[in-house]
Homo-oligomer: A and B are copies of this chain.
Amino acid sequence: MPRPKSFDHAAAIETAMQEIWRNGYQASSVNALSKELGITRSSYYNAFGSREGLLREVLDHYLSQSPDRVLHGEPPASPVLTLLTDTFREICTVRARDPGHRGCLAVNCIAELAGQNTELGAFLVSAVSTSAARFTQLLDIAVDRGELPAGTDTHAQGLALQNLLMGINIFAKALHDEAELWMVAKTTLEGLGLYKEHPNAQL
């Protein structure tokens, strides 16, 4: 009986994400977003409820496809240090090759909204906390597997990795050279004793 939804919700979220990523949240009005989505403001409010409602969906979508997504989920089969190194390498590549130099949408939103917008701010702060805890968890696994020495302060190291991650994502907005961006990550990872070259896999 119901008329089927005639615009692709997922595709709309993707498009809106690109727009907010480029222009920032406060600068992305419902007018502008609706125009970009090719729908009317009526449809916008019908589909997303409010201006802020869309951003929440956009952030969920973003986090599910951001370059650090591989860190979450099941414990990795490959060595943890290789996973970490590869992930930071990937992040540097993606960030540097983004022609808009937009950095990380989540980090941008933290800078814009944390401690201000109660709802979204709290969500973002908790996402940072979760990510840092995940780094620590991975390092604990590395200790268990003998990849890292037993006395390793995985809590401190995990926080340092989270900091490296966010730093890279901000730095990428100002430092556009991929090699230099990777130099930042590699230098810090080496310092932390967490850098590991990829061991010529599949050979």
Contacts and interface: CB of A to CB of B under 8 A. Distances in A.
A76 B184 CA distance: 25
B171 A128 contact: yes
Interface stretch (A37-45, A52-60, A66-74, A96-104): A96-104
A128 B174 contact: yes
Contacts of A119: none
A113 B190 CA distance: 32
Contacts of A167: 163-167, 170
A30 to B, nearest CB: 15
A170 B166 contact: yes
A46 B115 CA distance: 32
Nearest to A155: B183
A32 interface: no
B116 A107 contact: no
Contacts of A27: 26, 116
Contacts of A124: 174
B184 A114 contact: no
A157 interface: yes
Contacts of A85: none
Interface of A: 22-24, 26-27, 100-103, 107-108, 110-116, 124-125, 128-129, 132, 153, 155-157, 159-160, 162-168, 170-171, 173-175, 180, 183-184, 186-188, 190-193
8 contacts: A23-B116, A24-B112, A24-B116, A101-B114, A155-B183, A159-B175, A163-B168, A166-B167
Given A23-B116, A26-B27, A107-B170, 4 more contacts: A103-B114, A160-B184, A160-B188, A166-B171
